Amino acid sequence: MQAQEPLTILIAEDSAADRLLLATIVRRQGHEVLTAANGAEALEMFRRQSPHLVLMDAMMPVMDGFEAARQIKALAGETLVPIIFLTSLTESEALARCLEAGGDDFLAKPYNQVILAAKIKAMDRLRRLQATVLQQRDLIARHHDYLLNEQRVAKAVFDKVAHSGCLSAPNIRYLQSPYALFNGDLLLAAYTPAGDMHVLLGDFTGHGLPAAVRAMPLAEVFYGMTAKGYGLAETLREMNAKLKRILPVDMFCCATMLCLSFQRRSVEVWNGGMPDGYLHRIATGERVPLAARHLPLGVLSPQAFDDRTEVQTMAVGDRVFLLSDGVIDTTDADDRLFGVERLQQLFAANREPDNLFAEIEQALHAFRGEPRDDVSMVEISLLEAAHVVPSAPVYSDSGQSCPLDWSVSFEFRGATLRRFNPLPYLLQLLQEVHGLRTQGGAIYSVLTELYSNALEHGVLGLDSSLKRDASGFARYYEQRNERLEALQDGYVCVHLQVKPQGAGGCLVIRVEDSGKGFDVARVMERPLNGVRLSGRGVNLIRQLGHNASWSDEGRSACVEFFWEG
């Protein structure tokens, strides 16, 4: 037999002879013995000495064993102090009462030593089991608290990074559980220097802290590159390369990234592995799916990565709706998926666009039987460009070393034009001139338009009249991708000249291209406030800059910006 650790055992028995007999037996089995002559004494002894186990006579003067058992159990709380009733009672009702009062077992008088030893042993096993369970429960609770605290800290740090953007902009509505980050969901939004809006909804494989940690580098690339004026393609390439480098093979990030342009009234989309998003055209009620055309971020090597985007035209009030797979992957009790069809039924039934999120949530709740906390949805609507007020960037330099009298010229040729976007560099250069900073958005918009006109209509020879309607608009951007991919020759030159003028100064931007030019007089005849899809670039340049003019049959464009001292 396995040696048993000695226990402290309390014997409560009013008969002195029985008490002595029992004490002798128990002591001989190797245990410490405490004795009490009634329930009240037993209770007092229990309070002072905390025995491991109690042998309790049922019938005792002053306080009987039933009451003493109840009180001892209450005192012991969660710790198991086994109580074995000693009883000459035989009817089943009396025996049941012993157990109801909190007894764990009973032993019939007269005592059988072998059975007593066996019962003490069995009760000791139970006692230890209970102690282990409690200890492990407390350990789990401590770890849980620790984990929650880690999540709180991680969330606080992450919120600073992730929400440095413009999620609170008036045209964005979103729904995300506060701890969506720990489900791997990520939602980012920021204005570009030109006043466009970049939005990313991402979904990392995995859960918990590992998923949250991976979101950090992605958010930093997103905000850093958006603020500097990089477009979707360059930002996505960088994010993919970074994730490919740092993630294990089986980890990736499904993502949809958008560039919503209020000026051009269009949305540029890249979807890698996310469920279809939808462009909701309010005028027709049509919902254009924004389907996944690409593998998720972090799967392909930088060389194999495909940064091709699609462009759709939008009207003021149109909405783009994005969602995470938590919506369509919700399963019911029989493992059936909620699926895209049910989502589309909700779209069709929706009368009040602002209630859509709530209706989807309700439907998921009803389908699954309980709410989910890993559902992310975001809806971005197109506002009038004039209503968009991007927050001004904050600069920290003193302004003492501001360059005021200089000029610079660049010539970007075929192979460079194919992949490289020079605009962020040009903008950074111009931001060194303090007087121009308040007009940074306008300058960037104008530079962007001048550059894309030179590239698309000049070098690539694309016909802007293609953009007359929505399908032509999409076709235009397809052609742009194809021709750019095949581009060998041609150039775009950018000349920047900064001159002091009184207390202020003047910036002259001149952009030239190798294309065929265009009929300047005809384009300039158009009214400035037209709402056509094509030719908006030229209007924008004339509205935002000064003295906009075209020469060399449209191959050379010149715009000026002024600032006061």
Partner 1 sequence: MSVVTEVSPDGQKLTISVKGRFDFGRHQEFRESYERLNQKPDSIVGDLKDATYLDSSALGMLLLLRDHAGGDDSDVRVINSNSDVRKILAISNFDKLFDIS
Can you read off the two tokens belonging to residue 218?
């992605």
Among 206, 317, 472, 517, binds partner 1 (CB under 8 A): 206
Nearer to partner 1, 276 or 513 (CB): 276
Can you read off the two tokens belonging to residue 240?
């993919």
What is the distance between the alpha carbons of residues 31 and 17, in angstroms, rounded to a whole number? 19
Q: What share of the chain is helix, strand, coil (3-state, %, to 5)?
A: 45, 25, 35
Q: With 0-12 CB in 10 A as exposed, 13-18 as middle and 19+ as buried, what is 563?
A: middle
Q: Is 329 in the site for partner 1 (CB under 8 A)?
A: yes
Can you read off the two tokens belonging to residue 371?
């709410």
Minimal CA–CA distance to 222: which of 247, 246, 249, 240? 240
Count of residues of this chain found to bind partner 1 when the rule CB under 8 A is applied: 25
Q: Is 203 in the site for partner 1 (CB under 8 A)?
A: yes
Q: Could you tell me where the DSSP H helices lie in 373-469?
A: 414-419, 423-431, 440-452
What is the distance between the alpha carbons of residues 409 and 5, in angstroms, rounded to a whole number? 91
Q: Which residues contact 347 (CB under 8 A, 6 or more apart)?
A: 278, 287, 356
Site string for partner 1, 420-459 (x = CB under 8 A): ----------------------------------------
Nearer to partner 1, 250 or 352 (CB): 250
Minimal CA–CA distance to 209: which of 163, 154, 158? 154
Can you read off the two tokens belonging to residue 401?
């070393």
Q: Is 212 in the site for partner 1 (CB under 8 A)?
A: no
- In what side-by-side order are the strands of the sheet with 266-272? 185-191, 197-204, 253-261, 266-272, 310-313
Q: Which residues contact 381 (CB under 8 A, 6 or more apart)?
A: 171, 317, 318, 319, 320
Category of 298 on φ-ψ map: left (φ > 0), alpha (ψ -120 to 50) or beta: left
> Minimal distance in Å, beta carbon 243 to partner 1?
13
Provide DSSP, 491-512: EEEEEEEEEEETTEEEEEEEEE
Q: Is 359 in the site for partner 1 (CB under 8 A)?
A: no
Nearer to partner 1, 112 or 331 (CB): 331
Nearer to partner 1, 329 or 560 (CB): 329
What is the distance between the alpha carbons of residues 97 and 103, in angstroms, rounded to a whole number? 9
Region binding partner 1 by CB under 8 A among candidate stretches 2-10, 272-280, 343-351, 438-446: 272-280
Pairing of strands 53-57, 8-12: parallel
Among 141, 153, 246, 337, binds partner 1 (CB under 8 A): 337
Region binding partner 1 by CB under 8 A among candidate stretches 4-12, 202-210, 348-356, 404-412: 202-210
Among 114, 249, 366, 521, binds partner 1 (CB under 8 A): 249
What is the distance between the alpha carbons of residues 104 and 80, in angstroms, rounded to a whole number? 10
Nearer to partner 1, 224 or 289 (CB): 289
Q: Is 205 in the site for partner 1 (CB under 8 A)?
A: yes
* Residue written as token pair 């190797």: 30
Among 108, 295, 346, 520, binds partner 1 (CB under 8 A): 295
Q: Which residues contact 136 (CB under 8 A, 6 or more apart)?
A: none
The footprint of partner 1 on residues 275-294 (CB under 8 A) is 275-276, 292-294
Q: Is 180 in the site for partner 1 (CB under 8 A)?
A: no
Nearer to partner 1, 2 or 301 (CB): 301
Region binding partner 1 by CB under 8 A among candidate stretches 84-92, 332-340, 407-415, 530-538: 332-340
> Minimal distance in Å, beta carbon 307 to partner 1?
14
Among 296, 440, 441, 537, binds partner 1 (CB under 8 A): 296
> Minimal distance in Å, beta carbon 331 to partner 1?
7
* Residue written as token pair 């800290």: 153
Nearer to partner 1, 106 or 252 (CB): 252
Site string for partner 1, 539-558 (x = CB under 8 A): --------------------
Nearer to partner 1, 119 or 294 (CB): 294
Q: Which residues contact 495 (CB under 8 A, 6 or more apart)?
A: 407, 408, 409, 410, 508, 509, 510, 511, 512
Region binding partner 1 by CB under 8 A among candidate stretches 15-23, 154-162, 329-337, 379-387: 329-337
Nearer to partner 1, 231 or 296 (CB): 296
Q: Is 335 in the site for partner 1 (CB under 8 A)?
A: yes
Q: Is 326 in the site for partner 1 (CB under 8 A)?
A: no
> Minimal distance in Å, beta carbon 299 to partner 1?
7
Among 165, 273, 458, 515, binds partner 1 (CB under 8 A): 273
Neighbours of 332 (CB within 10 A): 12
**127 SS3 class:** helix
Nearer to partner 1, 340 or 528 (CB): 340
Nearer to partner 1, 126 or 209 (CB): 209
Can you read off the two tokens belonging to residue 481?
């991708």
Single-letter amino acid code for the residue at 415: A
Nearer to partner 1, 329 or 359 (CB): 329
The footprint of partner 1 on residues 5-44 (CB under 8 A) is none
Among 272, 277, 490, 515, binds partner 1 (CB under 8 A): 272
* Backbone φ and ψ of 440, nearest 5°: -50, -45
Site string for partner 1, 250-269 (x = CB under 8 A): xxx-x---------------
> Minimal distance in Å, beta carbon 556 to partner 1?
43
Among 9, 232, 259, 274, binds partner 1 (CB under 8 A): 274
Binding residues for partner 1, rule: CB under 8 A, are 203, 205-206, 249-252, 254, 272-276, 292-296, 299, 325, 329, 331, 335, 337, 340
